């Protein structure tokens, strides 16, 4: 069994990470009721005997003693990390795996990347090496961060180069939360595009998440609850709650529900690594099958049923409807419509009581309505995990390498250009040592080249699929 390490960077990254660990613990508790430390739990948790001083307390089998998340928590402000350490998950994190400062990055990518990157590089490396030493077979680093601020975008992408140099064989999966047009950080277009150049060059897979899409999904759920349709009712206990615990509290922060959607994405993405199934998908298979060209590694994700994410009881969707929903624009975690764009490849990660024949039937049913590139008409990758989300019979995560991600990048470039042509706020960045105006022009060129690659693919949409000759077999 392989292991993965989660690296949470900045306020957003740590809040999402906290939700992920909360949900993962509950999921394992529902399955592993005898509290045995098994391979499923070992993929993301260490079992530690806290009576042993130092690093000698790891227990590889037997009863669970004390679980520690395979995680590194980084933030250049103390607030969120301190909140986690005072909350119900405080015992899950090893204090040796935390890096904090008190000054923050001030919504400036250059401060996070150039200043704190240099200042904390050795300390970060030491903690990453320690995390790697605790793994029998380290397969993947999951980086969780936001693009619009300073620490998440700057230090978060600085980490990618460090990981690539130090652990070149270990996959780098990045969950990046992109700012919406109504973002309250004025410099977020600068931070996002400077960060994107690093994602282009140093990530294996990026799962872009759009804040506006998350907000829209939560609004739809609230609308259903408040309208009383479909016999919805508030659950007395729910898998998806605030990080404060199992009961939804009145003072829940507005971003908690949105963060839980991203945590559920990660929960489903890693389900095959954590649980058995008739058709498991290794994390390295995602990159191998869904990324045909190095830079086109942005995967659009959709979750269904969406209402597994809500603190409500809603009748389950029919299985076939679940597959249809995964391709509708209402279920995408960025504002995109994949059915009207071009697929390079698509993965369907199904959980619960679903048969391979159900998968095949739905793929054949949906194929005529989806456009795949001419050279990869059979570009499907599938997995079946036998363990469903807690309280549900089945769920589906779709990961699409699709040109529908392009409008998000174009909108970001337009917002960047509006600021940059006036040189607005530029002096805040250029006063940082090592930061030059060429950093901006190179980042813009990198993004434009990426958009152009998607344009070239879109130009082939009207071309017929290649009718490849088949091997004739003499009988």
Query: Does the pLDDT at position 469 exceed 50?
Result: no
Q: What is the pLDDT of residues 94-147, one digit of tens each?
A: 888 999 999 899 999 999 999 999 999 999 999 999 999 999 999 999 999 999
CA 153/CA 199 separation, integer angstroms: 10
Q: CA angle at residue 11 from 96 to 160, to 5 degrees? A: 70
Say if residues 136 and 3 touch (Cβ distance below 8 Å).
yes
Q: What is the pLDDT of residues 313-372, one digit of tens each?
A: 555 568 899 999 999 998 999 999 999 999 999 999 999 989 999 999 999 999 999 999
CA 475/CA 466 separation, integer angstroms: 27
Nearest to 66 by CA among 83, 88, 81, 45: 45
Neighbours of 171 (CB within 10 A): 21
Stretch (H or E) spanning 408 = helix 406-420
Residue 187 CA from chain centroid, whole number: 23
* CA pseudo-torsion sign 1, 203, 82, 256: negative
Q: Report phi then psi at 71, rounded to 5.
A: -145, 150
pTM for this structure? 0.91
Residue 128, CA atoms < 13 Å, CB-side half-sphere: 23
Q: Which two tokens stand for residue 303?
A: 């979750």
Integer CA distances (angstroms), 102 to 75, 78, 226, in order: 9, 6, 41
Query: Does the pLDDT at position 252 exceed 60?
Result: no
Q: Which residue ranges form the domains of the chain, and what is each CATH number?
A: 3-225+256-407 (3.40.50.1440), 408-460 (1.10.287)
Query: Does the pLDDT at position 5 exceed 90?
Result: yes
Query: Does the pLDDT at position 416 exceed 50?
Result: yes
CA 48/CA 335 separation, integer angstroms: 42
Q: What is the pLDDT of residues 174-211, one digit of tens each?
A: 999 999 888 889 999 999 999 999 999 999 999 999 99
Integer CA distances (angstroms), 326 to 145, 296, 330, 447, in order: 25, 21, 9, 28
Grouping H, G, I as helix, E, B as strand and the rest as coil, residue 305 is coil
Query: Does the pLDDT at position 417 exceed 80?
Result: yes
Q: What is the pLDDT of residues 75-100, one digit of tens each?
A: 999 999 999 999 999 999 988 899 99
Mean pLDDT taken over the chain: 87
Strands 312-313 and 233-234, by their bridges, are: antiparallel
Say if residues 214 and 262 touch (Cβ distance below 8 Å).
yes
Q: pLDDT tier at 162 (50, 70, 90 boundaries)? A: very high
CA 41/CA 37 separation, integer angstroms: 6
Region 150-176: what's the mean pLDDT? 97
Q: What is the pLDDT of residues 372-393, one digit of tens each?
A: 999 999 999 999 999 988 878 8
């Amino acid at each position: 069994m392989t292991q993965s390490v989660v690296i949470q960077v900045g306020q957003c990254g740590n809040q999402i990470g906290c939700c992920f660990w909360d949900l993962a613990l509950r999921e394992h508790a529902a399955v592993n009721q005898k509290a045995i430390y098994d391979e499923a739990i070992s993929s993301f948790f260490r079992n530690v005997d806290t009576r042993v001083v130092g690093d000698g307390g790891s227990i590889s089998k037997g009863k669970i003693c004390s679980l520690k998340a395979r995680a590194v928590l980084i933030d250049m402000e103390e607030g969120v990390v301190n909140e986690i350490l005072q909350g119900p998950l405080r015992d899950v994190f090893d204090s040796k795996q935390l890096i904090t400062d008190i000054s923050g990055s001030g919504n400036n990518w250059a401060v996070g990347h150039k200043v704190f990157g240099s200042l904390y590089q050795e300390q970060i490396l030491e903690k990453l090496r320690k995390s790697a030493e605790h793994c029998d077979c380290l397969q993947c680093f999951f980086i969780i961060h936001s693009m619009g601020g300073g620490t998440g975008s700057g230090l978060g992408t600085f980490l990618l180069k460090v990981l690539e140099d130090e652990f070149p064989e270990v996959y780098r999966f990045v969950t990046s939360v992109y700012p919406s047009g109504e973002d309250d950080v004025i410099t977020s277009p600068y931070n996002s595009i400077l960060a994107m150049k690093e994602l282009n060059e140093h990530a294996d897979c990026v799962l872009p998440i759009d804040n506006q899409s998350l907000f829209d999904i939560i609004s739809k759920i609230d609308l259903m609850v408040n309208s009383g349709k479909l016999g919805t009712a508030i659950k007395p206990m729910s898998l998806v709650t605030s990080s404060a615990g199992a009961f939804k509290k009145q003072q829940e922060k507005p971003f908690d529900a949105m963060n839980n959607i991203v945590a559920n994405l990660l929960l489903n993405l890693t389900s095959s690594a954590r649980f058995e199934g008739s058709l498991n998908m290794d994390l390295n298979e995602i990159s191998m099958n869904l990324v045909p060209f190095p830079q086109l590694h942005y995967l659009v994700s959709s979750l269904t049923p969406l209402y597994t994410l809500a603190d409500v009881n809603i009748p389950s969707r029919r299985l076939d409807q679940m597959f249809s929903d995964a391709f509708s624009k209402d279920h995408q975690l960025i504002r995109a419509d994949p059915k009207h764009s071009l697929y390079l490849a698509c993965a369907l990660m199904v959980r619960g009581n679903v048969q391979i024949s159900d998968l095949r039937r739905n793929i054949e049913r949906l194929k005529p309505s989806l456009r795949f590139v001419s050279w990869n008409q059979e570009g499907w990758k599938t997995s079946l995990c036998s363990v469903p989300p807690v309280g549900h019979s089945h769920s589906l995560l779709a990961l699409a390498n699709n040109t529908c991600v392009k409008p998000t990048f174009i909108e970001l470039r337009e917002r960047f250009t509006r600021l940059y042509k006036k040189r607005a706020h530029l002096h805040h960045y250029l006063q940082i040592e090592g930061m030059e105006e060429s950093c901006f022009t190179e980042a813009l060129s990198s993004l434009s080249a990426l958009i152009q690659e998607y344009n070239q693919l879109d130009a082939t949409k009207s071309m017929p699929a290649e009718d490849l000759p088949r091997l004739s077999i003499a009988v």
